[in-house]
Amino acid sequence: MFNPNSPQARDIVDLFFWSMVIGGVIFVLVTGLILYSVWRFRGRPGDGEPHQNPGNRKLEIAWTIAPTVLLAIIFVVTLSAMRRIDPDPAGQQPDVIVTGYSWWWHVEYPNSGVVTANEIHIPVGQQVLFQLKAADVIHDFWVPELGPKKDMIPGHPGNTVWLAADEPGIYLGACAEYCGTQHAWMRIRVIAHPQEEFDEWLRQQASIPAAPMSEELVRGAQIFQESTCVNCHAIAGTNANAQAGPNLTHVGSRLTLGAGIIDNTPENLGQWILNPHAIKPGVQMPGYNYSPADLRALVAYLGSLQ
């Protein structure tokens, strides 16, 4: 959050900074006065009862009014920042719908029908409206460099948040509400592209993957379709259309697997399929005991889904 990359993230850091400055000055003042008094008016042997001071009306009025004024200023500044950071979408349709699952993110672009997971691509320099939903328990969507965080609450699909990125790049985020065993590995990557590159990415993701060309890829596709993979995952253009796990239509184009826990390499994907619990204990996906040749074919097929 200390590297803000959007107007709203800068607003948040400014608010935080000035609240810290005001709080810091008061802290130093109060602590300093206490330490000074302890030292200056310390008891010495032979001292009698200290002078009893029943009160000082001027001082009491001053230290009631000063904090009231200070808090009123912070209140007004906070309120105006909140209105800029989190404006009412006023009926505007979301650009991206993100749904929190234990422990990954379902990502949908309603205008183009693109569905992906964990990695969210956005065009640079634009305010992007996110609708935030939850499939099971409460999650919290937070990409600190790009905007505020917001809860995802089951049965309360109306939460929205605006994110923007001033510069192209990869921005990391995470679930910010404890949601079970793998809460810490519920990572988000937001990839901000120049508009043209983003349009190209969206076109690519909206396309249906080409039919497998080589014998091994055909075998891999067949293994996928005949295994229980299809009970949870979807691949556009095939019979697999389940929603319980991440959509795999273009899984080969993603950077990581398991919501950010490992890099998306053929070797890692193979390990993940054999025993995902060794990598991410508690994950909902069971392990599968494929022969080395079958595993190679399946990994090659999934990797080919670019």
Binding site for ligand CUA (CB under 6 A): 100, 103, 139, 175, 177-179, 183, 186
C-beta of 148 vs 212, nearer to ligand CUA: 148
Any idea what DSSP says for residue 160? E
Any idea what DSSP says for residue 207? S
From the CB of 150, what's the least distance to ligand CUA, in Å?
13
C-beta of 134 vs 298, nearer to ligand CUA: 134
From the CB of 106, what's the least distance to ligand CUA, in Å?
12
The DSSP line for 88-145 is --TTPPPSEEEEEETTEEEEEETTTTEEEESEEEEETTS-EEEEEEESSS-EEEE-TT
From the CB of 287, what's the least distance to ligand CUA, in Å?
23
From the CB of 117, what's the least distance to ligand CUA, in Å?
14
* Tokens describing residue 237: 């253009």
From the CB of 246, what's the least distance to ligand CUA, in Å?
14
From the CB of 180, what's the least distance to ligand CUA, in Å?
7
From the CB of 226, what's the least distance to ligand CUA, in Å?
32
Task: Give yes or no for a contact between 133 and 150, defined as CB atoms under 8 angstroms apart.
Answer: no
C-beta of 139 vs 250, nearer to ligand CUA: 139
Tally Cβ neighbours within 10 Å of residue 176.
17
C-beta of 175 vs 285, nearer to ligand CUA: 175
* Tokens describing residue 76: 């007004």
Q: How far is CA 198 from the centre of its chain?
A: 20
The H-or-E segment that residue 175 falls in is strand 169-175
63: left (phi over 0), alpha (psi -120 to 50) or beta: alpha
Q: Say how many Å lie between the first and final Cα of the chain, rounded.
A: 32
From the CB of 170, what's the least distance to ligand CUA, in Å?
20
C-beta of 4 vs 147, nearer to ligand CUA: 147
C-beta of 183 vs 254, nearer to ligand CUA: 183
> Residues 16, 14, 170, CA angle at the centre, nearest 5°?
95
C-beta of 179 vs 297, nearer to ligand CUA: 179
Task: Give yes or no for a contact between 95 and 190, defined as CB atoms under 8 angstroms apart.
Answer: no
C-beta of 133 vs 193, nearer to ligand CUA: 133
Any idea what DSSP says for residue 75? H
Task: Give yes or no for a contact between 160 and 94, defined as CB atoms under 8 angstroms apart.
Answer: yes
